[in-house]
Amino acid sequence: MVDESLAEADSLPSHGGDRKFVCDEMLGRLARYLRAAGYDTAMASGGAPDRQWLEVARREARTLLTCDRQLLRHKAARGRVLWLRQGALDQQAFVLREELGVDWLWRPFTRCLVDNARLEWAGAAALGRLPPDLRSRAVRECPDCGRIYWAGSHHRRMRARLACWAARVGGHGGATLHPRG
């Protein structure tokens, strides 16, 4: 039996896909979930200066997600930075859905959670590295790092969380989008 939960992402409508993100170092878990939802999400790292990440956001037409209020003071932040309260991942996900229209089930599991590359269907060599009981499943591979993905228990837990975020109705709070100047 072929598990089609990874295959379904290819047939989804392509709404919402033009939005790209860069997350600051404090939002690593959120970045992984944005990638799991199919969004092109870069991750700030290495303690690079704020101006560098603002420039990346401008040059690559990304929205910079941050918990650092100091970023909002930069002139280059206008229209490019969404400040999120530090804390609960679920609340941050809700704010992204409400403020930016993030569809948490847009193109699930089509990007590498580690390096953000678009996943490809696994070839024979990748399938050969898997235990025999997994070879009949829908399997994807990252062309950059070689990581292999299939719909196992971790996938099911992440998918359930994405579905919860997509369906959640309720309170608001915790975001400030720096207005366009």
pTM: 0.82
Q: Given this model, what pLDDT does residue 75 score?
A: 80
Q: Is residue 29 part of a domain?
A: yes
Structural domain span for residue 18: 7-177
117: DSSP letter:
P
Query: Does the pLDDT value for residue 11 go beyond 70?
Result: no
As a whole-number percent, the residues of the chain with pLDDT over 70 amount to 83
93 C-beta neighbours (distance < 10 Å), count: 24
Q: Is residue 1 part of a domain?
A: no
Strand order in the sheet with 20-23: 41-43, 20-23, 62-66, 81-84, 175-177
Q: Given this model, what pLDDT does residue 87 score?
A: 79
Query: Does the pLDDT value for residue 143 go beyond 60?
Result: yes
Q: What is the mean pLDDT of residues 51-73?
A: 90
Sequence-separated (6 or more) residues with CB below 8 Å from residue 181: 75, 78, 79
How far is the first Cα of the chain from the last one, in angstroms, to the nearest whole number?
A: 55
Q: How far apart, in whole angstroms, are the C-alpha atoms of residue 157 and residue 162? A: 9
Q: Given this model, what pLDDT does residue 17 score?
A: 58
Q: Is residue 166 part of a domain?
A: yes
Q: Is residue 38 part of a domain?
A: yes
Q: How far apart, in whole angstroms, are the C-alpha atoms of residue 154 and residue 171? A: 28
Q: Is residue 131 part of a domain?
A: yes
Label residue 39 by pLDDT band (50, 70, 90): very high
Q: What is the mean pLDDT of residues 71-91?
A: 86
Query: Does the pLDDT value for residue 69 go beyond 60?
Result: yes
Q: What is the mean pLDDT of residues 28-45?
A: 96
Q: Determine which helix (DSSP H) or strand (DSSP E) holds 65, and give its type and residue range.
A: strand 62-66
Q: Is residue 24 part of a domain?
A: yes
Contact 23, 31 (CB under 8 A): yes
Q: Is residue 2 part of a domain?
A: no
12-16, 65-69, 148-152: least confidently modelled range: 12-16
Label residue 48 by pLDDT band (50, 70, 90): confident
Q: Is residue 79 part of a domain?
A: yes
Query: For the chain, what is the radius of gyration of the CA atoms?
Result: 17
Q: How far apart, in whole angstroms, are the C-alpha atoms of residue 59 and residue 44? A: 15
Number of domain units in the chain: 1
